[in-house]
Structure 1
């Protein structure tokens, strides 16, 4: 039986470089898995690399010259990173926030420890670190962003509410009051949810990836329903179901929870009211929009029915950066949720349109 070849890159064979200096760099750049880190720099144990999931990892043998190649490549990349750190130190006062971000990414994007953390521990990365946000943005753009935009366009959230969206932030929504795992997790855009599952305000995660140069770090969140039956025009109108303003967020503190709003009621412009479709009404869309504010909003008023989201955004100079959507139909829990909010039972519409006028 062949034995694994140990990777030899210990501190005795290599001078400590810029990627070893955690006094000047965030400690979160260090590999989270201590066992894997020891193997990376000191060699595999006799039982084989811990990263292998197979029960036959004791049969593992490193490819020929892998260790020498790794050592040489590591030293070259670390030297490039040292030159980039030196450039930043010499020019940090001249660089804009976005230029500084890009320079910081270049210092660490090929660091093996950073790459391993990104691949294996994506859910617990330090989002204050530019290089981790770069990898998270790439992951979002490769899947989450495409799913969201597909649902927004497929369900005609665009252009029924706002004309278009160039997404800049990842927006995730979940209803944490639910006990059932099916309804307690993050909601996939476009999912149909029963009334009881959305009866309480949602938790909203808004992840920025790049510095906000022309903004204040304040956000507005609106939930609108563009599918409210309007008998006067034999069509539909838009109702406002939730409105938050002047919500401060950053890369790390990026989640709006119901508890945080209890502590800051001044941020609630319109208290949450779940969508409660009436019987035989077509599927309704809960369209959640996230806006970046250019300034703090003061003395803002809203009309809950016949709400014009486009006019509201224009009047308050709001820049749409993200969105989400879920759908609802009339179901067995609708009337009980209506009662929770002090509403009477909803109307019942005919399933077949008659020749007589609606009014």
Structure 2
């Protein structure tokens, strides 16, 4: 990606065409903000300085670009830039949004600056209104994080214990911000203590497709591992219910700013597992509201109950489409009684093994 220094005549061989034009048609977010780094990627690196992308000085000094790259790079760059210009011309005359987005992706997917940002920039900092960044975000997610998510949903039996299946259309990041300092992105299936999860999480919903501004979404967090002593089985409880949450490609965070009486149908209740029961699964489901219609909040409140919640009936009755999911697990720890006191919950049960 970063080349050694090149002669001035080769440096001038880069055509300052479409990839150098940051106008209304091309967002400045497509380029690299650091001029020094951009200079090295496009024009080469002084031998004694080394690539800025390498952190350790010893590695920068040792670096040498492949033989012949300095001669080939300008030729390839100019050819790909000419092809990109053709794609932009076609995109201008195309009214179909899907075809236009595909042309814009083809125009930028081989741009060295875009490739560098897609490989080394935090995905949270992408401009998701730009089709090529959604393309690389989707590609990267399906190659790794998406496979982990689906594997955890299936091996932990979130599917089909809660919903039948999932065709993911977005990536869901889950974080807990509290005094513990645990604000990292939670990996699907991770076991979290009650001290971490006693406050409501923050969700980041990254859509892989272009969505209109203020598209409406719903969020459910359910626990299908609540002991049902009467029937000697388990039942599902509703730990959180949000509806009519407005999201867009860049405005994709669900936090306290978007939670109010009109969007929060039932307040967040942290997991407080009983002592000596297996791990509890806290399943997060993100739904897109069909035809972007607002749900009647009064009807929703009458429909939901904290205990014995039927998630499939709720989804079907409100015409919701599952587009993303997440899951974490909780077990009893010494802080659970404190969490129960904070939320005015009764003391939990203590289960013992009974020989048959």
Aligned match of 2:53: 51
Supply the distance in 2 between the matched residues of 1:7 and 1:150 (Cα, whole angstroms).
51
Aligned match of 2:81: 78
Residue 112, structure 1, aligned to residue 87, structure 2? no
3-state secondary structure, aligned to 2:93: helix
Report the alpha carbon displacement of residue 353 of structure 1 after superposing the two structures with TM. Answer: 5.4
> Are residues 266 and 353 of structure 1, via their aligned partners in 2, closer, same or farther at CA, if it must alter by over 3 Å?
farther
Report the alpha carbon displacement of residue 45 of structure 1 after superposing the two structures with TM. Answer: 2.2
> Are residues 63 and 288 of structure 1, via their aligned partners in 2, closer, same or farther at CA, if it must alter by over 3 Å?
closer
Aligned residues: 343
Q: Is the 8 A contact 1:5 1:62 kept in 2?
A: no
TM-score by length of 2: 0.90
Supply the distance in 1 between the matched residues of 2:294 and 2:7 (Cα, whole angstroms).
56
> Are residues 221 and 204 of structure 1, via their aligned partners in 2, closer, same or farther at CA, if it must alter by over 3 Å?
same
3-state secondary structure, aligned to 1:69: helix
Q: Which stretch has the larger CA shift, 28-37 or 316-325?
A: 28-37
Which of structure 1's runs of 4+ aligned residues deviate more than 3 A?
Answer: 7-15, 40-43, 51-54, 56-65
Supply the distance in 2 between the matched residues of 1:115 and 1:9 (Cα, whole angstroms).
25
Gaps of 5+ in 1: 355-359
Q: Which stretch has the larger CA shift, 49-58 or 68-77?
A: 49-58
Equivalent residues in 2 for 1:180-199 (5 A)? Answer: 180=181, 183-199=182-198
TM-score by length of 1: 0.89
3-state secondary structure, aligned to 1:55: helix
Equivalent residues in 2 for 1:273-288 (5 A)? Answer: 273-288=269-284
Report the aligned-residue RMSD.
2.1
Aligned match of 1:270: 266
Supply the distance in 2 between the matched residues of 1:339 and 1:9 (Cα, whole angstroms).
74
> Are residues 150 and 60 of structure 1, via their aligned partners in 2, closer, same or farther at CA, if it must alter by over 3 Å?
closer
Report the alpha carbon displacement of residue 330 of structure 1 after superposing the two structures with TM. Answer: 1.3
Gaps of 5+ in 2: none
Equivalent residues in 2 for 1:1-359 (5 A)? Answer: 5-6=5-6, 8=8, 12-24=12-24, 25-47=26-48, 48-52=50-54, 53=56, 55=58, 57-58=60-61, 60-91=63-94, 93=95, 95=96, 97-123=97-123, 124-180=125-181, 183-212=182-211, 217-261=215-259, 264-294=260-290, 295-298=293-296, 299=298, 300-301=300-301, 302-352=304-354
1:42-78 deviations in whole A, cap 9, x for unaligned?
Answer: 4422423333445164455544432221111111100
Q: Is the 8 A contact 2:211 2:248 kept in 1?
A: no
Report the alpha carbon displacement of residue 196 of structure 1 after superposing the two structures with TM. Answer: 1.5
